[in-house]
Amino acid sequence: MTDAKRLQAPLGQGRALALWQRQARKLAMPHATIIEGGRGSGKSTVIRWLTAALLCPSDLDDDGPCGVCRTCARIAADRHPDVHVLDRAHDERDRKDNDKSFYVIKVDQVRNAQDALARHAVEGRARVLVIADADCTEEGAQNALLKTLEEPGVDTFLLLEATRPERLVETVRSRAQRLRVLPLPEATIRRELARILGHDHGLDRAVRLAAGSLGQALAATTEHAVQLHDLVQGMLASAKALRPIVTARAVLEGQKERRSELEAARRFLWLLRAELRARAHALAEAGGAVYGARQTEPWTTWLELALAAEQDLDAMIPPEQVLAACLLAFESR
């Protein structure tokens, strides 16, 4: 019995992905590939598609997976026995049951995956190791991965997802090819939002904030994201009257687990950065070449503070502390 979930073809990725998937069908793809792009840009969709291209047994298409067979359906549902996935904890139960971290991929996870790859493929065509958020892999785990990168084994492929590939150690980056997921045009994002949501009303905010990312556009349509964006707009309208502690707690209100607190904090900072970029861009265009830089300086300074706050979250500093410190810095500028 096949899984009901259907494999989705990536949108708007052009010739680069087409080349990769043709190579995958022939099992001639690079043995290690870093799939890089912004949050919500479709990296996971590209990874599933390439994985299906590697494993799909159908001979209907030499250029890509069939997308409808039992193999493709199991890949879409993350249930294929020859696909091994390393990721961070999704929730508190996942963290406890599987000894995962909300912040990093651990060395023991890499070693367990290497043991699995040492066994024969269940269905015989290939074996795939997917590392979600590979740029959040602790350094010891990355070093342990080098052995597999150097000697992956026959028909063994590693797909490393990364939002910030520069955080991977040089020895890992030098042993992998890189495929960048391209941002989507606004028209494509608007069309896909309307298809998924079943309506085309009130999508302007989500499309404007998306920066080419369908995933971020979808996230921006949720009630929580709308509330956070309203909070962002309110604080930017009157930064001198900002109440940092109260605002930080408002962002995290109702989040009962550390993972959900992290996601809320990251979403707030993403919305903050998106709004700052939009305002800086609008001012630069209105001011012309001579005065644009001076007019946008406060917004770009605040953008740097928001980026630093995201790095603090990755450094395991508690979300409320990170947000409060960021907003206090805003208030003082």
Q: Are residues 158 and 32 in the same domain?
A: yes
Residue 123's pLDDT is 84
Residue 325's pLDDT is 93
**Any idea what DSSP says for residue 166?**
G
Q: Are residues 163 and 63 in the same domain?
A: yes
The more confident residue out of 307 and 242 is: 307
Q: How far is CA 267 from CA 39, 98, 139, 280, 323, in A?
A: 10, 26, 26, 20, 12
- Given 146, 180, 214, the domain boundary residue is 180
Q: Are residues 226 and 174 in the same domain?
A: no
Residue 315's pLDDT is 84
Q: Are residues 240 and 138 in the same domain?
A: no
Over residues 204-227, mean pLDDT: 91
H-type helices in the chain, by residue range? Answer: 14-25, 43-55, 70-76, 92-98, 107-117, 139-150, 170-173, 186-197, 204-210, 214-220, 223-237, 244-252, 258-314, 319-332
The more confident residue out of 292 and 70 is: 70
**Tens of pLDDT, residues 251-270:** 999 898 888 999 999 999 99
- Given 120, 150, 180, the domain boundary residue is 180
Taken in order 182, 183, 187, 191, is the CA torsion positive or negative? Answer: positive
Q: Is the distance from CB of 31 to CB of 156 less than 8 angstroms?
A: yes
Q: Are residues 144 and 270 in the same domain?
A: no
Q: Are residues 163 and 268 in the same domain?
A: no
Residue 1's pLDDT is 40
* 5 falls within a domain: no
Radius of gyration of the chain (CA): 21
pLDDT > 60? residue 289: no
Q: Which residues of 6-21 are buried (b: 16+ CB within 10 A; e: fewer)?
A: ebebbbbbeeebeebb
Q: Is the distance from CB of 28 to CB of 89 less than 8 angstroms?
A: no
Backbone angles phi, psi at 134, to 5 degrees: -60, -25
pLDDT > 70? residue 240: no
* 215 falls within a domain: no
Over residues 4-17, mean pLDDT: 87
Residue 297's pLDDT is 61
* 206 falls within a domain: no
- CATH number of the structural domain spanning residue 100: 3.40.50.300
* 191 falls within a domain: no
Residue 120's pLDDT is 86
* 65 falls within a domain: yes
Q: Are residues 24 and 126 in the same domain?
A: yes
Report how far apart the first and last C-alpha atoms of the chain are (Å, whole number). Answer: 60
Q: Are residues 117 and 236 in the same domain?
A: no
The more confident residue out of 200 and 4 is: 200
* 193 falls within a domain: no
Q: What contacts 34, CB < 8 A, 6 or more positions away?
A: 134, 160, 162, 165, 168, 173, 176, 177, 178, 179
* 104 falls within a domain: yes
pLDDT > 80? residue 290: no
d(CA 107, CA 276): 37
- Given 151, 180, 209, the domain boundary residue is 180
**pLDDT tier at 187 (50, 70, 90 boundaries)?**
very high
Residue 211's pLDDT is 87
Residue 277's pLDDT is 83
Q: Are residues 231 and 315 in the same domain?
A: yes
**Tens of pLDDT, residues 125-180:** 899 999 999 999 999 999 999 999 999 989 999 999 999 999 999 999 999 999 99
Domain count, the chain: 2
* 200 falls within a domain: no
Q: Are residues 175 and 241 in the same domain?
A: no
Residue 2's pLDDT is 42
User: Following CA atoms 111, 113, 119, 120 in sequence, which dihedral angle do they give, to the nearest 10 degrees?
Assistant: -150
**pLDDT tier at 109 (50, 70, 90 boundaries)?**
very high
Residue 286's pLDDT is 66
**pLDDT tier at 3 (50, 70, 90 boundaries)?**
very low
Taken in order 329, 164, 173, 79, is the CA torsion positive or negative? Answer: positive
What H or E segment, with its residue span, contains residue 179?
Answer: strand 177-180
pLDDT > 50? residue 114: yes
Q: Are residues 228 and 285 in the same domain?
A: yes
Q: How far is CA 11 from CA 3, 14, 312, in A?
A: 23, 9, 33
d(CA 47, CA 158): 10
Q: Is the distance from CB of 88 to CB of 262 less than 8 angstroms?
A: no
Residue 229's pLDDT is 93
pTM: 0.85
Residue 230 belongs to what domain range? 222-332
Q: Are residues 43 and 164 in the same domain?
A: yes
CA angle 47, 45, 13 (to 5 degrees): 90
Q: Is the distance from CB of 95 to CB of 82 less than 8 angstroms?
A: no
